[in-house]
């Protein structure tokens, strides 16, 4: 089951898992993008449509995935929102929405999926961000929620280890997703927008969703069977340190 699978990293992960022979249950808040993803993946995909911002939605999402797939081996909590604002403009509603989707929903999804994952001795992958490891200005709600998701991952890993369930968290850097392209277009100067983000990462570029997805499926595969409670940066060196440019 993958949340936020209508586009971007979630869709790339769905494609990669289907290519490995998995059947997938997909969730996305956009009905049209979810429908397009389900059409593309055909018989290999079922819908797990639910509103993850609500208290009831995450359980509904898991229930639909179980109804459609019969059992669950892998749960990927990928859905997130990121609405940048300085602290003065981060309203109560905006703060609550970030915590609900980016932090509470993964918690409630895992809580609902625990029984099924115990049967399959399954694995959970939470998708945080490099911003779960450090901060940038004017993004206080997102940074807080993603730091919380890393801590939640560790707590879940410790609690569920006794049942053979692994829980890890991936912290990607910036990816060249549809969202990135939309933001670049909206900036009025797409070339400059991309240049800023390329330079932000020491490797001098942003990632493709496909390369992050390929790495992510390693984290839910038997190759990483001894890994649990780990937070893994995949960020072009962004959180490793600072680059001094000669001036």
- According to DSSP, the residues that pair with 45 across neighbouring strands are 24
CB atoms within 10 A of CB 15: 20
Reading across the β-sheet that carries 24-27, which strands appear in turn? 45-47, 24-27, 2-3, 74-77, 123-127, 166-172, 231-234
- Choose between 33 and 53: whose C-beta lies nearer to another protein: 53
What's the CA gap between 88 and 86, in Å, rounded? 6
Q: Where are the beta strands (DSSP E) in the chain?
A: 2-3, 24-27, 45-47, 74-77, 123-127, 166-172, 231-234
CB-based contacts of 26, cutoff 8 Å, min separation 6 = 1, 2, 5, 6, 10, 14, 34, 37, 38, 41, 45, 46, 47, 48
Nearer to another protein, 43 or 92 (CB): 92
Whether 200 sits among the annotated catalytic residues: the reply is no
Q: Which is nearer to another protein, 111 or 196 (CB)?
A: 111
Residue pair 231/150 in contact by the 8 Å Cβ criterion: yes
Closest distance of CB 135 from another protein, Å:
4
Residues in contact with another protein by CB under 8 A are 55, 86-88, 90, 92, 95-96, 99, 103-104, 107-108, 110-111, 114, 131-132, 134-140, 143-160, 229
Nearer to another protein, 64 or 90 (CB): 90
CB of 77 to another protein, least distance (A): 13
Q: How far is the CB of 1 from another protein (least distance, A)?
A: 17
CB 174 within 8 A of CB 139: no
CB of 159 to another protein, least distance (A): 4
Query: What's the CA gap between 132 and 110, in Å, rounded?
Result: 19
- Residue 136 CB, shortest distance to another protein, in Å, is 6
CA atoms of 195 and 205, how far apart (whole Å): 8
CB-based contact 150:133 (threshold 8 Å): yes
**Would you name the residues annotated as active-site residues?**
142
């Amino acid at each position: 089951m993958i949340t936020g699978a209508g586009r971007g990293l979630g869709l790339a992960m769905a494609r990669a898992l289907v290519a490995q022979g998995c059947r997938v249950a997909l969730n996305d808040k956009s009905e049209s993008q979810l429908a397009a993803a389900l059409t593309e993946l055909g018989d290999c995909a079922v819908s797990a449509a639910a509103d993850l911002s609500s208290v009831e939605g995450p359980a509904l999402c898991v229930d639909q995935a179980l109804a459609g797939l019969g059992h669950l081996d892998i749960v990927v909590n990928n859905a997130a929102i990121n609405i940048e604002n300085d602290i003065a403009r981060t309203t109560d509603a905006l703060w609550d929405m970030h915590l609900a989707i980016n932090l509470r929903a993964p918690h409630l999804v895992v809580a609902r999926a625990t029984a099924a994952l115990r049967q399959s001795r399954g694995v959970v992958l939470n998708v945080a961000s490099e911003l779960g490891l450090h901060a940038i200005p004017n993004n206080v709600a997102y940074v807080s929620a993603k730091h919380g998701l890393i801590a939640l991952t560790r707590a879940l890993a410790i609690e569920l280890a006794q049942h053979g369930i692994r829980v890890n968290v991936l912290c990607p850097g910036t990816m060249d997703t549809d969202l990135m392209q939309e933001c670049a277009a909206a900036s009025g100067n797409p070339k400059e927008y991309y240049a800023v983000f390329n330079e932000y990462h020491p490797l001098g570029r942003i990632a493709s969703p496909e390369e992050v997805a390929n790495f992510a499926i390693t984290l839910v595969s038997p190759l990483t069977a001894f890994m649990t409670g780990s937070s893994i940066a995949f960020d072009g060196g962004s959180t490793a340190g600072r680059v001094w440019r000669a001036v």
